């Protein structure tokens, strides 16, 4: 009986510790925000969805371009955010969460807020933010690698 209680207690403790560790993992957006506050680099956020063909095309072409990768790595903090992300995300001092809209569907509040332009969210969306999270640039739509590289160089010069 004591042995059984010990195993149950140990299992419950393991589950408790495991669940705490799962939430301790930060979302890449949270990490980028923390890093930019330390090193004072702009943040580039790419907002996408699984169902968006233009989003998939940008990930395969634009973000695989050598020059774009180099600029994003050296001069910016870069993070991607799926608009249907289910993990809560702290951005600035606010917590944003997933909002279900039906069976198997919903949206993340942060993605909707950041991608919104003229009252509607459009994907893909690319945002460049100052280290204190003020918007420098937002574009909803596909960007070629050459266009994004030029934009990143321009923002770098002005920063």
pLDDT score of 8: 42
Helices (H) and strands (E) in the chain, counts: 6, 10
Q: Give pLDDT tens digits for 129-155.
A: 999 889 999 999 999 999 999 999 999
- The domains of the chain, with CATH numbers, are 26-158 (3.40.30.10)
Using alpha carbons only, give the angle 81, 49, 53 rounded to the nearest 5 degrees.
135
> Distance (Å, rounded) from C-alpha 9 to C-alpha 35?
39
pLDDT score of 99: 94
Closest CA to 36 of 108, 152, 134: 134
pLDDT score of 25: 62
Q: Is 2's pLDDT higher than 60? A: no
Task: State how far the alpha carbon of 156 is from the alpha carbons of 25, 54, 150, in Å.
Answer: 30, 26, 10
Tell whether pTM > 0.85.
Answer: no
SS (H, E, C) 58-96: HHHCHHHCHHHHHHHHHHCEEEEEECCCCCCEEECCEEE
């Amino acid at each position: 009986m004591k042995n059984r209680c010990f195993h149950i207690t140990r299992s419950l403790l393991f589950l408790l510790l495991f669940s705490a560790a799962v939430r301790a993992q930060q979302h890449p957006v949270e990490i980028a925000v923390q890093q930019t506050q330390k090193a004072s680099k702009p943040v580039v956020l790419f907002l996408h969805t699984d169902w968006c063909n233009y989003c998939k095309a940008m990930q395969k072409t634009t973000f695989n371009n050598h020059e774009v990768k180099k600029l994003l790595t050296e001069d910016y903090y870069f993070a991607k955010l799926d608009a249907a992300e289910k993990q809560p995300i702290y951005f600035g001092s606010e917590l944003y969460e997933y909002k279900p809209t039906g069976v198997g569907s919903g949206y993340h509040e942060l993605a909707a807020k950041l991608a919104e332009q003229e009252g509607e969210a459009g994907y893909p969306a690319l945002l460049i933010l100052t280290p204190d999270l003020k918007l420098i640039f937002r574009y909803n739509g596909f960007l070629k690698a050459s266009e994004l590289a030029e934009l990143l160089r321009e923002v770098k010069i002005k920063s």
